[in-house]
Amino acid sequence: MIKQTVNNTEVIVHSGYEEIGGNLVEIRYKKNRIILDLGISFKQFKKFYEWPFRTPKDADELIELGIVPKIEGLFAKTENDINAIFISHAHRDHSELTQYIPSGTNLFMGETCEIILRTRRDVYNIKYKIDLKNGVTKFRTGFEIPIDEITVHPIHVDHSIPGAYSYIIRTPDATILYTGDYRLHGGKVCERSLTEDMIIKAKEYGKIDLFITEGTRFSDCSTDREIDVLARLNKILSSFDGTILLEYSYLDIDRYESIIEAAVNWNKNILFDYRHLIFLYRLYKEDSGLTKKISLDAYKDMLYIYVKNRGRLRRKVREIIEEMENEGYNIIETLQDVPTQNVILEGFNLYIQDIFKTGPERCLAIHSTSEPYDEEIEISYEKLNNWLKALNAPSYRIHSSGHIHPLDLIKVYKEILPKDTLVIHSEYPNQVKEMLTKNVIK
Ligand SMILES: [Zn+2]
């Protein structure tokens, strides 16, 4: 935990300092308390749990194990209550603890974020206390949300998940910019970076007293953008006609679009794990801003959805799959029904034993996430690599990060010129801060 003050405004980083993920930040002005993000620390989480096989029983267990800090009025009502909670985006290291907050909590998030959390709840049978669909206040970029004496302004940013926001928070004596997770290079879906809007808005406010920025990337950085990812995918897909095993962050719509484009270019079919495609399907159906941007309906012929043990799935999930089947999507219940040539098996880590059993002659793997940091904590790379060796499959890493790289961070900093900076979501907060201040002569 780290505390910083600007006049009478206090900023408390309950978790997410000196580590990547687990964002949980409180802004206090006298009796007013707001929380930014409800993330979980993967580092701590992984010591005790293996998702989805062993998951926490409740918030008390997480607090007792020291994974989640004890914060008055967060999971149980007290007199010193929290006025509102704002979630920046739906990655689990920013939103995981939403399931434990009591109903009646003032919870705010973007429309897209709510759709993703609700889908995750349905697919993984997560028990929420709060009614996501009706009990959450949804905002769009540019809103001004007054919370007693504090005003919160969400402004969209670019990240490797749709619906990511930064916040400008104004108390009577401080203006704070909280970036959430972001990057300055645009994606594929939207070439101009949405993050430009955050910079514009921050400059409109005049002085930013405190710039709370993520600093995920520091060592071994690359400047690769989504367009570079597409070029590399094209290269590999053009020269290999065996089975391609692919894992990517399935909430990254830009990556999905690159994969589809490369697959169309080289005549490949793609088998998706049903758990992953359901998210895209829901966003496509429910998020009017994304319907035109997600290549789904028109690509049904090349998409296969792998649903094993369909009869044993929960009713809610079965219903979504039936809906997709009725709309003409190809549902595959056994891998034997998939052609072994010219096929991409997405989410292969979830059914690697089935692949091992069917024994495709020639496989090659593409890791399209950043190792070792996986925002959805789905993958254990060590085990995965052992399976790939057992399949005699070489692997390539093709990735462009959702996080800002140091040179771009300096650029943002130079534009905003904040009075003070607090680096979170970073293993090296002091080094990142020093890097920023030393590169700017005020
Ligand atoms: Zn994050």
Q: What is the pLDDT of residues 207-250, one digit of tens each?
A: 999 999 999 999 989 898 999 999 999 999 999 999 999 999 99
Ligand 1 centre and the CA of 95: distance in Å?
9
β-bridge pairing 136-139 and 107-110: parallel
pTM score: 0.95
CA of 88 to the centre of ligand 1 (A): 9
Question: Average pLDDT in the 110-139 region?
Answer: 96
Start-end ranges of CATH 3.60.15.10 in the chain?
2-220+403-438
Question: How far is the C-alpha of 135 from the C-alpha of 143, rounded, in Å?
Answer: 19
Mention every residue, 6+ apart, whose C-beta is less than 8 A from residue 167.
36, 86, 88, 152, 153, 154, 155, 177, 178, 180
One-letter amino acid identity for 168?
A: I
CA of 285 to the centre of ligand 1 (A): 26
Distance 183 CA to ligand 1 centre (A): 12
438 contact partners, CB below 8 Å, separation of at least 6 = none
Task: Quote the ligand 1 centre to 373 CA distance (angstroms).
Answer: 10
Q: Cα of 214 to ligand 1 centre, how many Å?
A: 8
- Predicted confidence (pLDDT) at residue 116 exceeds the cutoff of 80: yes
353 or 440, which is more confident = 353
CATH number of 226-397: 3.40.50.10710
Distance 23 CA to ligand 1 centre (A): 7
The predicted pLDDT at position 331 comes to: 95
- 8 A C-beta contact, residue 149 and residue 171: yes
Across the range 384-404, mean pLDDT stands at: 94
Q: How far is the CA of 357 from the centre of ligand 1 (A)?
A: 36
Instruction: Please check the confidence at residue 374 and state whether its pLDDT lies above 70.
Output: no
Q: Where in the chain is the domain with CATH 3.40.50.10710?
A: 226-397
DSSP codes, 91-110: SHHHHGGGGGSPTT--EEEE
Is residue 42's pLDDT more than 90?
A: no
Q: How far apart are CA 422 and CA 433, in angstroms?
A: 7
The environment of the single-atom ion ligand 1, i.e. residues with CB closer than 5 A, is: 93, 181
Architecture of domain 2-220+403-438: 4-Layer Sandwich (3.60)
CA of 91 relative to ligand 1 center, distance in Å: 6
User: How far does the centroid of ligand 1 lie from the alpha carbon of residue 181, in Å?
Assistant: 6
The answer on pLDDT for 191 being more than 90 is: no
Distance separating alpha carbons of residues 240 and 195, to the nearest angstrom = 37
Question: 370 pLDDT band (50/70/90 cuts)?
Answer: confident
Mean pLDDT of the chain: 93
Instruction: Tell me the CA–centroid distance for residue 318 and ligand 1, in Å.
Output: 31
> Residue 72 C-alpha to ligand 1 middle, in angstroms?
24
* Residue 72 confidence (pLDDT) above 60: yes
Tens of pLDDT, residues 262-307: 999 999 999 999 999 999 999 999 999 999 899 999 999 999 999 9
Q: What is the mean pLDDT of residues 41-46?
A: 87
pLDDT at 376 over 60: no
